[in-house]
Amino acid sequence: MAYETLIVETHGPVGLIRLNRPQALNALNSTVLAELKLAYGAFHVDEAIGAIVLTGSEKAFAAGADIKEMQPLDFADVYKSDFISGWDEIAKARKPVIAAVSGFALGGGCELAMMCDFIIAADTAKFGQPEITLGIIPGMGGSQRLTRAVGKAKAMDLVLTGRMMDAAEAERSGLVSRVVPADKLIEEALAAAAKIASLSRPSVLMAKEAVSRALETSLEEGLRFERRLFHSLFATEDQKEGMAAFIEKRKPVFKNR
Ligand code: HXC
């Protein structure tokens, strides 16, 4: 399928989605959202795909929501249409999604990266929530996901001043899982995604669900949820195979069941 704002490829069991609006530094507009939903949807129904990498260009992962699209809107417009609520669907992807961030990840761009399961950053990456400089605040999760990722002090600093932080600061503060040289970014992200895709699909999906639940519930509930998922994996053929392969000193052959 041909997209206007995305370039979509498959690399073996990994789906790669590149945001592609170079004239606007990949600013996120309604077309990007509609196309991302389609691309995610296609990868989710494709049994051959085990993980997704979402990336932008060398200069920008995404420089935010499209300011030119938002500028004329008034309160009634955004309230009636529940403007940007559609991005929640992207955040609810079931298969693991890795954000591979090079250059600017600002505003909605930073928020989109945070909707992914983890972020691998190029050493050129710059993260920020500059909405305050436009007379608004983050609206796609920046005040919530950023605070959970980096804590109150750093989140307040970024959200209130609108300043950018570089890749090293983002790694120190826990926003990104690793920083790699810019020319190795896609290779590293694809390798991480391929590793995930090679593992037993039920355990991967449940691992994602369990970690995600940690941010939404109490420790007691989270531990109970984790244990029940853990128990349920003993009903899979892949648990038998994974453990037998370890004991027999061979590679497991997972059937994703
Ligand atoms: C629309 C954008 C854009 C954006 C850049 N462009 N960011 N268009 N929306 N968010 C466009 C510019 O207008 C310009 O188009 C072209 O992309 C290149 O950008 P430049 O500014 O010329 O590039 P540079 O000087 O290198 O500066 C890069 C930058 C700057 C620092 C990233 O572009 C910038 O500050 N962008 C806005 C960042 C921002 O405020 N993001 C938050 C948006 S609000 P022309 O046609 O002039 O060449 C948001 C809210 C989300 O995200 C939550 C609720 C919706």
ipTM, interface predicted TM-score of the complex: 0.98
Give the CA angle between residues 83, 86, 91 to the nearest 5°. Answer: 130
Q: Is 131 a pocket residue for ligand 1 (Cβ < 6 Å)?
A: yes
pLDDT for the residue numbered 221: 98
* Contact between 53 and 12 (Cβ < 8 Å): no
Q: What is the mean pLDDT of the chain?
A: 97
Section 65-86 average pLDDT: 96
Q: Per-residue pLDDT averaged across 65-93, rounded?
A: 96
Residue nearest to atom 11 of ligand 1 (CA): 24
Over range 207-234, report the average pLDDT. 97
Angstrom distance (rounded) from CA 148 to CA 141: 10
Query: Is any ligand 1 atom within 6 A of the Cβ of residue 33?
Result: no
Question: Structure tokens of 80?
Answer: 């009636």
Instruction: Kindly report the backbone phi and psi dihedral angles of residue 121, in degrees, each rounded to the nearest multiple of 5, phi listed first.
Output: -110, 140
- What is the rounded distance in angstroms from the CA atom of residue 149 to the CA atom of residue 143? 10
Cβ of 108 closer than 6 Å to ligand 1, yes or no, is: yes
Report the share of the chain in percent with pLDDT over 70.
100
Which residues have a catalytic role annotated?
65, 108, 111, 131
Separation between Cα atoms, residue 15 and residue 25, nearest integer Å: 22
Looking at ligand 1, which atom is closest to the CA of residue 70? 55
Asked if 5 and 20 touch (Cβ cutoff 8 Å), the reply is: yes
Each residue's pLDDT tens digit, 189-216 = 999 999 999 999 999 999 999 999 999 9
Give 57 Cα–ligand 1 centroid separation in angstroms: 14
Structure confidence by residue, pLDDT tens digits, 21-55 = 999 999 999 999 999 999 999 999 999 999 999 99
Which residues are bridge partners to 98 per DSSP? 53, 118
Answer whether 121's CB lies under 8 Å from 171's CB: yes
pLDDT tens readout for residues 91-127: 999 999 999 999 999 999 999 999 999 999 999 999 9
Ligand 1 neighbourhood includes 113 CB (under 6 angstroms): no
Ligand 1 binding pocket includes 140 (Cβ within 6 Å): yes
- The fraction of the chain above a pLDDT of 90, given in percent, is 99
61 Cα to the center of ligand 1, angstroms: 12
Long-range CB contact pairs, 178-184, < 8 A, 24+: 178/120, 178/121, 179/120, 179/121, 179/122, 179/123, 179/125, 180/120, 180/121, 180/122, 180/123, 181/122, 181/123, 182/58, 182/102, 182/122, 182/123, 182/124
Burial track 136-147 (b if 16+ CB lie within 10 A, e otherwise): eebbbbbbebbb
* pLDDT given at position 92: 95
pLDDT at position 1 is 81
**Predicted TM-score of the model (pTM):** 0.97
Cβ atoms 115, 87 nearer than 8 A? yes
Instruction: Establish whether residue 65 lines the binding site of ligand 1, counting it when its CB lies within 6 angstroms of any ligand atom.
Output: yes
From the CA of 99, how far away is ligand 1's center (Å)? Answer: 20
Q: Rounded to whole angstroms, what are the CA distances from 198 to 9, 123, 236, 239? A: 18, 27, 16, 14
Residue 187's pLDDT band (boundaries 50, 70, 90)? very high
What distance in angstroms lies between residue 217's CA and the mean position of ligand 1's atoms? 36
Do 57 and 103 form a contact (C-beta atoms < 8 A)? Answer: yes
The three-state secondary structure class of 1 is: coil
Chain centre to alpha carbon of residue 176: 11
Average pLDDT score over residue span 147-157: 98
Q: Atom 13 of ligand 1 has which residue's CA nearest to it? A: 24
Distance 128 CA to ligand 1 centre (A): 12
The protein residue whose alpha carbon is closest to atom 14 in ligand 1 is 24
